[in-house]
Amino acid sequence: MVRNQVIKGLAPIFGIDAIGVTDAADLADAINYVRRTGYKYRRELSYSPKRFLKVARSVIVAMENYYACDRKV
């Protein structure tokens, strides 16, 4: 499960200087939904389907790479 603290920590990787707690929580919820459903788009989200999948996949890949490197140490 992705937590909003992780999103806040990863935001600089994506060129986001600061992300609010609410935005981080919303994005974490969206990413958790994407991970549970295998990247199916949920219409009630405010993101366009293309942007939503792009952002969610980018964050998931970055997190998986981060945790993979962390486990090797």
| Every domain of the chain and the residues it spans | 4-72
- The CA distance from 69 to 46, in Å, is 33
pTM, rounded to two decimals? 0.46
- The CA distance from 40 to 36, in Å, is 9
- The CA distance from 70 to 34, in Å, is 23
Instruction: Give CB contacts under 8 A, 24+ apart, made by 46-49.
Output: none
State pLDDT tens for residues 24-37: 777 777 777 777 77
In tens digits, what is the pLDDT along the chain, a chain of 73 residues?
Answer: 667 777 777 777 766 666 777 777 777 777 777 777 765 555 555 556 566 667 767 777 766 666 666 555 4
